[in-house]
Amino acid sequence: MSAVKLKIAIQKSGRLYEDSTALLKECGIDLRNVKDRLKTESDNFPLEVFFLRDDDIPQYVEDGVADIGIVGENVLLEKNKKVSTIEKLGFGKCRLSIAIPRNQEYGGAESLEGKRIATSYPFLVSQYLANHNVTADIHEISGSVEIAPGIGLADVVADLVSSGSTLFMNGLKEVETILKSEAVLIQNNQLSEEQLQLLNTLLFRIRTVKKAKKNKYVLMNVPNEKLETVVSLLPGMRSPTILPLASTGWSSVHSVLSEAEFWDKIEQLKEAGAEGILVVPIEKMVL
């Protein structure tokens, strides 16, 4: 195995930890016991893993302490470090939103003029206000932002939202989205050629796993006289596989459907004559 290794920083706890470690495992990367560890190595891929606070990951990658990192876009943009985003990972989705007391009306960004805004994202909120020519008083809070209006600390909050239940429980309502965020893979801008080769290998595996999650393998039985209609509904990667069944006049059709069009296509396939439709998750998908 090459002496060159990639060093990756991931969240040591919190909403991205589980998905980040699961992604590495789905990429075939075995990690030694990661429980309560700050650093570990893979036994079958030249990768060293650092477990850090998410707020620190952009800085570590910029400084080259870590070569790459998995972090939320919200943290990445708030920290404003000189790193490159190389892949959106599709998990950890949330949004940074403006929320106000439920009994108030929202009149757009201009209604924030002169307000006190509590947030853990002062840089992003300042950018948003500047883009709308609004002047407001930003109170930076490291946690429990949603209680600020209730205790008189602020009039408005700008906080991360996923389901909105926390805002609701604190008498707030979401009125505007500043940023939509998900986990991203970032890299240091001065990697060596050997490190870039390793990164490309890792990216190939990540994209293979992502592609598989967005598609389903579908098998169905189709009367031969309806094959043409059914096949016309199946985009597939090239064309569907068609195999004769033991029953005369029937064939088994195998294809791949994207998650986005899956339910609509299944309904169309049933109407076209497909029966016994079997849907199988895809573990890896190499194109």
Q: What is the CATH number of the domain that holds 237?
A: 3.30.70.120
Per cent of the chain over pLDDT 90 is 72
Last residue of a domain, one of 137, 164, 181: 181
Query: Would you place residue 1 in the very low, low, confident or very high pLDDT band (cuts 50, 70, 90)?
Result: very low
Contact by Cβ (8 Å): 116, 155: yes
166: pLDDT strictly greater than 90 = no
198: pLDDT strictly greater than 90 = yes
Rounded to whole angstroms, the Cα distance separating 251 from 220 reads 8
Q: Are residues 203 and 66 both part of a single domain?
A: yes
What is the model's pLDDT at position 238? 65
Contact by Cβ (8 Å): 73, 184: yes
Contact by Cβ (8 Å): 256, 283: no
Give Cα 144 to chain centroid, integer Å.
24
Q: Are residues 116 and 236 both part of a single domain?
A: no
Residue ranges in 28-109 assigned as alpha helix (H): 57-63, 73-79
Q: Are residues 70 and 113 both part of a single domain?
A: no
Helix (H) or strand (E) holding 204: helix 193-213
What is the model's pLDDT at position 201? 96
2: pLDDT strictly greater than 60 = no
Asked, for residue 286, whether it belongs to a domain, the answer is no
Mean pLDDT across the stretch 112-132?
Answer: 96
Asked, for residue 253, whether it belongs to a domain, the answer is yes
Asked, for residue 194, whether it belongs to a domain, the answer is yes
Contact by Cβ (8 Å): 79, 18: no
247: pLDDT strictly greater than 50 = yes
pLDDT in tens, 76-93: 999 999 999 999 999 999
258: pLDDT strictly greater than 90 = no
CATH assignment of the domain containing 140: 3.40.190.10
Rounded to whole angstroms, the Cα distance separating 203 from 1 reads 19
Q: Are residues 177 and 191 both part of a single domain?
A: no
Read off the pTM.
Answer: 0.85
Structural domain total, the chain: 3
Q: Are residues 238 and 104 both part of a single domain?
A: no
- Rounded to whole angstroms, what are the CA distances from 35 to 31, 51, 55, 70, 108? 11, 10, 20, 18, 46
48: pLDDT strictly greater than 50 = yes
Asked, for residue 275, whether it belongs to a domain, the answer is yes
Q: Are residues 73 and 193 both part of a single domain?
A: yes
What is the model's pLDDT at position 93? 93
| Structural domain harbouring 157 | 94-181
Q: Are residues 154 and 140 both part of a single domain?
A: yes
Asked, for residue 56, whether it belongs to a domain, the answer is yes
What is the model's pLDDT at position 45? 94
Mean pLDDT across the stretch 188-211?
Answer: 95
Asked, for residue 287, whether it belongs to a domain, the answer is no
Asked, for residue 11, whether it belongs to a domain, the answer is yes
Query: Would you place residue 237 in the very low, low, confident or very high pLDDT band (cuts 50, 70, 90)?
Result: low
31 or 182, higher pLDDT:
182
What is the model's pLDDT at position 80? 95
Mean pLDDT across the stretch 16-23?
Answer: 94
The candidate with the shortest Cα–Cα distance to 186, out of 62, 270, 91, is 62
Rounded to whole angstroms, the Cα distance separating 26 from 10 reads 16
Mean pLDDT across the stretch 253-282?
Answer: 89
Among 31-45, 60-74, 201-215, the range of highest mean pLDDT? 60-74
217: pLDDT strictly greater than 60 = yes
Last residue of a domain, one of 159, 181, 203: 181
Query: Would you place residue 70 in the very low, low, confident or very high pLDDT band (cuts 50, 70, 90)?
Result: very high
Last residue of a domain, one of 181, 200, 226: 181
Q: Are residues 241 and 187 both part of a single domain?
A: no
Q: Are residues 85 and 11 both part of a single domain?
A: yes
What is the model's pLDDT at position 213? 87
Mean pLDDT across the stretch 272-277?
Answer: 92
The secondary structure of residue 58, as a DSSP letter, is H
Q: Are residues 137 and 169 both part of a single domain?
A: yes
Q: Are residues 23 and 42 both part of a single domain?
A: yes
Asked, for residue 1, whether it belongs to a domain, the answer is no
Q: Are residues 71 and 204 both part of a single domain?
A: yes
